[in-house]
Each structure stands twice: as C-alpha cells, then as structure tokens.
C-alpha cells in the first residue's frame, strides 16, 4: 500500500536527518553536506521499495491418499448474506479515503509550486529593465529581486555598483552549482511527503547549505564585514521557495558560518558514522518475503514445479447441451487453465470478526491475492470476483465466463452452539448442484493435497452446504474455509504470509490435478 510505503520513507528521513543534525550540520564541509542531504533523500525512497526474498527448500515425501468422496456435517457457520434492508450501509473505505485526501493535498501543493514559478515569470516580464547575459536588472517595484531563478540572476537596479557586484557574485555560485535543481527536487519531495514535519526541516537545511556555499565563495573576494552588512541591509522574509534569495531571514547561522574557521581534514572521518545509520535503515525498512519451496518426492509432480502450466482441455460447463463438431481434428482442444477466485463477503458485508479485530472480508481478500500470485507463477489465468473492499451480490459473484474451476475463499468462526469448534481448513460443496460429481472430484482432490501440510488441521472429508454459490455455479466450484479466526493458534498461523502461500500452493496442486483429468 502506497501510504505504508510513504510512512516508511518518512521514518527513514527522520533517522537520516537526526544523524545529520547530530554529526554534520555544524561542519564546514558544505559540499559533502550537500551530497549527504541529497543522497540520503534518495536512499529514503529507495530502501522501503526494496524487497528481499528468502527462499527455503523443504523436501516433502508425497504420500498420495487415494481419491475418496466422503462427507462430514458436524455443523456449519457460513451463511449466505441476505440484505433485508436493515443492513448497515456504511461502506466507507477509510484506506481509500485517506489515499484520496493525500492525493488531493499533493495535487494542491504541486499546483501551488507551478503557480509560484508562473508568478516569477510574470513579475520578470513586467519589471525587467535590462538583460545582460544571465543578469536581469529589475526596477524597485519588483517583488522578485536579489535572487537567482534557474540560470537567471535577478538584481535590483537601485543598488550601488559595488553592492550589485556582490549580489551577482553570490548568486552566480547558485547558478554555476545548479542549486535550482536541488530546490526543485526537494520542493517536489516536500509536496509528496507533506504530512512529514521532518521534510520541512530538511528543505531548510538544503537552503542553508546553498547559502553557506555561496557565502564562502563570495567572502573570498569581498570584505566580510561589508558583505555581512549588506546581508543585513537586504534581508527579507523567506516567502518564495522557488528562488535562491541573496539575503533572507534568519541570518544568524549564515554569519556564524562565514566567520567560523574551516574544519580540519581529519574531521571528515565523521562522515563514516553514516554507514551504521544506513545499515540501521536497511535492516529496519527493507521488506522481507519468506518463500518456502516444497520439493516433493514421490509419484506425483512436485509442488515446486510451479512455473510449468498444466495441460487443460476445454470443457463447456456453462452450456446445458453438448455440441459436437464433426470436422474437429482432435478429440480435445488444449486451452490455458482458468481459475476464478472469489474473496467472500466485502463492502457492507463484513461477515465475522477475528479475535484480533480483523474483518473476515479483509482476511479473505488477502488470502485470495496471495493465491492469485501463486497461480500466476504457474501460468494459470486468474479471474478475481473482487480486487478490493467491494460489496457484490451473490449472483454477481457467479461465473459468467468459461473457466476450469471456481474457488470461493472464506474464514470460519466458532459457532455458539458448537461444543468443540473445528479450528482448521474445511472444503465445501453442495449436493444440490446438478454437477455435484464433478464438484466432488475437485473438492476431494484439493482436500487430499491440503492434508499434506502439518501446520493446520484439515477436515478429513468434504462438507455439504446449501449456499447459493455452491448450488448454482455451472463451473466446477468449491468453498474453502481457511481456518477458524476465533481460535488463537489458527489465527496466529494464518496471519503469517508464508503459511498462506503454502496452503495456496496445495490448493493449486489439487486444481492442477483436477484440470488434467480430461473429459
């Protein structure tokens, strides 16, 4: 999620800026400070964007359980959502609302920056008296004067000749060292991280460093007292963030730095302290992804061969009659496997709530996205009924297109009537579906594969439920309860992404086996 990423970026800026203030801000190595401020700003955006994958190979002896169709109906918690008009229609997605608010403020700030640059252009066009190369002389009425704007040095024509030369010398340093590029970059980043107070201090630090660099070069050819006096006489409030002003308040640090003795060369060793700071940020904010690759030894194709797409044959489940093409050259037409995955509930239909406060609809969506990622690795075409927190009626979830199979993902809760609620994985079909035998075959195949994992209990046999999706789907379908979120151990297990990926690959193993069977 973009907001989480930006929060990590903000945390990085806090660490890097704290190190700058403690170790480097009072140093006279202004060029090195400039490099640090710009480079660590880039690092702040780069580090949280990096993901490191840790792969672990686990050898599993595949002991295939013979395909057996059996049922166990010891209670059922999942129910069809019925909107009787009394449901809470509060469908506010706060994450989406925050994202929209963030983007709106970002757009306003970028527009303000562009408007400010346009204002400068208009002011120069209105008040320019003379242009001599990069130097632009403006009249006293201009609000933009004694500053530089990209490759232009803007000077008040009413200044004395010697004062004008000092201003030009100072501003030429900004132009030659491309300080305008720094300002453009940091202003854009300030707009992106507008909610982060550190970025405003960071922008000020870059501005101050620019002035230290220009002051040092100017003081080499001018009398320091005369130059400091001119700075005080021409001091103006800091209003325009798009230009490098010759003298803007506050001036205390600039004058102190101008009179400070340069630091000794060996004091540059202080910059080596940045390495452990960089290491801390990398360890804290680089994303880590645990991937467990199972290498199955046995008669069946191993689970690790995820990248190879299975051979799947076209089977028109949605049509009620069989159409035979007498001119067909082959008995079956090989097609790309297609899996429709449904994240149960969504929107105003929260369903149940886990012990830690998570909504079942959110847990379902997270599991479905992981399942879709793993399916894509195998070359399986995936269609999702919903990709975000959206409410869909049950009939809108039913497949409208051809597919190899349809899987609906849910998470169970303990029934108040259950004496000893089951905490693990359950696979459901409906005996009321006309294609029950095909659904049983799909369900039993997935169930047999799920039994191979030992982290979470799996119901030994299929369960029957009269749910609309199971009853009326014309595509082979099962409903899978990924665990009981009222159980502490189960919730702890399914909250780990690597475990969901493991379960997803076992489900896909069952799907692949089903898709290979032909007609």
Domain with residue 451: its CATH number is 3.40.630.40
Q: Give the pair of three-digit tokens for residue 450.
A: 């799920």
142 pLDDT tier (thresholds 50, 70, 90): confident
9 pLDDT tier (thresholds 50, 70, 90): very high
pLDDT, tens digit (0-9, with 9 covering 90-100), for 23-71: 999 999 999 999 999 999 999 999 999 988 777 676 655 555 455 676 7
Query: Who has greater pLDDT, 340 or 423?
Result: 340
pLDDT, tens digit (0-9, with 9 covering 90-100), for 180-214: 999 999 999 999 999 999 999 999 999 999 999 99
Q: In this structure, is residue 301 part of a structural domain?
A: no
Q: In this structure, is residue 127 part of a structural domain?
A: no
Total of domains in the chain: 1
- With a cut of 70, say whether residue 360 has pLDDT above it: yes
Q: In this structure, is residue 123 part of a structural domain?
A: no
294 pLDDT tier (thresholds 50, 70, 90): low
Q: In this structure, is residue 476 part of a structural domain?
A: yes
**Percent of the chain whose pLDDT exceeds 70:** 82
Q: In this structure, is residue 428 part of a structural domain?
A: yes
**What one-character DSSP code corresponds to residue 304?**
T
pLDDT of residue 323: 43
**Percent of the chain whose pLDDT exceeds 90:** 40
Q: Are 171 and 244 in contact (CB under 8 A)?
A: yes
The C-alpha atoms of residue 8 and residue 262 are separated, in whole angstroms, by 36
Q: In this structure, is residue 259 part of a structural domain?
A: no
244 pLDDT tier (thresholds 50, 70, 90): confident
The C-alpha atoms of residue 68 and residue 460 are separated, in whole angstroms, by 10
302 pLDDT tier (thresholds 50, 70, 90): very low
List own/partner pairs for 434-437 with CB under 8 A and 24 or more apart.
435/317, 435/474, 435/476
Range of the domain at 510: 306-320+329-515
- With a cut of 90, say whether residue 336 has pLDDT above it: no
93 pLDDT tier (thresholds 50, 70, 90): low
Give the strand pairing for 135-138 and 152-156. parallel
- With a cut of 70, say whether residue 300 has pLDDT above it: no
pLDDT, tens digit (0-9, with 9 covering 90-100), for 361-389: 999 999 999 999 999 988 899 999 999 88
Q: In this structure, is residue 254 part of a structural domain?
A: no
DSSP readout, 151-186? Answer: TEEEEETTS-HHHHHHHHHHHHHHHHTTHHHHHHHH
Q: In this structure, is residue 161 part of a structural domain?
A: no
The C-alpha atoms of residue 432 and residue 472 are separated, in whole angstroms, by 8
């Amino acid at each position: 999620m973009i907001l989480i990423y930006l929060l990590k970026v903000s945390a990085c800026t806090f660490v890097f800026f704290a190190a700058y203030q403690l170790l480097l801000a009072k140093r006279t190595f202004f060029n090195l400070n400039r490099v640090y401020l710009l480079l660590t700003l880039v690092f702040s955006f780069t580090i949280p964007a990096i993901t490191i994958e840790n792969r672990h190979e686990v050898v599993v002896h595949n002991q295939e359980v013979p395909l057996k169709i059996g049922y166990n109906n010891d209670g059922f918690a999942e129910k069809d959502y019925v909107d009787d008009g009394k449901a809470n229609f509060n469908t506010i997605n706060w994450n989406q609302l925050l994202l929209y608010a963030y983007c709106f403020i970002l757009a306003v700030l970028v527009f303000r920056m562009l408007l400010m640059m346009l204002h400068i252009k208009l002011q120069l066009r209105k008040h320019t008296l003379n242009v001599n190369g990069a130097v632009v002389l403006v009249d006293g009425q201009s609000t933009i004067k004694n500053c530089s704007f990209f490759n232009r040095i803007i000077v008040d024509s009413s200044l004395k000749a010697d004062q004008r030369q000092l201003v030009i010398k100072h501003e030429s340093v900004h132009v030659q060292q491309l300080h305008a590029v720094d300002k453009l970059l940091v202003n854009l980043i300030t707009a992106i991280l507008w909610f982060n107070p550190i970025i405003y201090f960071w922008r000020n630090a870059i501005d101050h460093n620019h002035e230290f660099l220009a002051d040092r070069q100017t003081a080499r050819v001018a009398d320091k007292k005369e130059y400091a006096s001119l700075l005080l006489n021409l001091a103006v409030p800091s209003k325009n963030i798009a230009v490098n002003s010759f003298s803007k308040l506050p001036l205390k640090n600039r004058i102190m730095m101008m009179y400070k003795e340069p630091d000794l060369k060996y004091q540059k060793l202080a910059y080596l302290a940045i390495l452990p700071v960089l290491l801390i940020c990398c360890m804290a904010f680089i994303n880590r992804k645990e991937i467990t690759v199972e290498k199955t030894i046995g008669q069946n194709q191993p689970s690790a061969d995820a990248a190879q797409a299975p051979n799947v044959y076209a089977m028109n489940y949605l049509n009620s009659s069989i159409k035979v093409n007498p001119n067909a050259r082959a008995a079956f037409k090989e097609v790309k496997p297609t899996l429709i995955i449904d994240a149960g509930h969504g929107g105003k239909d929260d369903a149940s709530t886990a012990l830690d406060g998570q909504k079942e609809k959110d847990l379902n969506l997270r599991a479905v996205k992981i399942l879709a990622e793993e399916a894509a690795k195998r070359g399986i075409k995936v269609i999702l009924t919903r990709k975000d927190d959206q409410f869909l009626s049950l009939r809108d979830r039913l497949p409208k297109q051809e597919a190899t199979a349809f899987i609906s993902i849910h998470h169970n809760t303990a029934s108040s009537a259950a004496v000893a609620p089951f905490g693990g994985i359950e696979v459901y079909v409906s005996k009321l579906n006309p294609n029950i035998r095909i659904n049983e075959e799909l369900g039993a195949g997935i169930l047999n594969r799920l039994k191979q994992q030992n982290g979470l209990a799996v119901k030994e046999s299929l369960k029957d439920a009269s749910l609309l999706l199971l009853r009326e789907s014309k595509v082979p379908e099962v409903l899978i309860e990924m665990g009981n979120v009222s159980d502490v151990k189960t919730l702890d297990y399914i909250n780990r992404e690597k475990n969901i990926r493991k379960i997803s690959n076992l489900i896909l193993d069952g799907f692949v086996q089903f898709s290979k069977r032909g007609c």
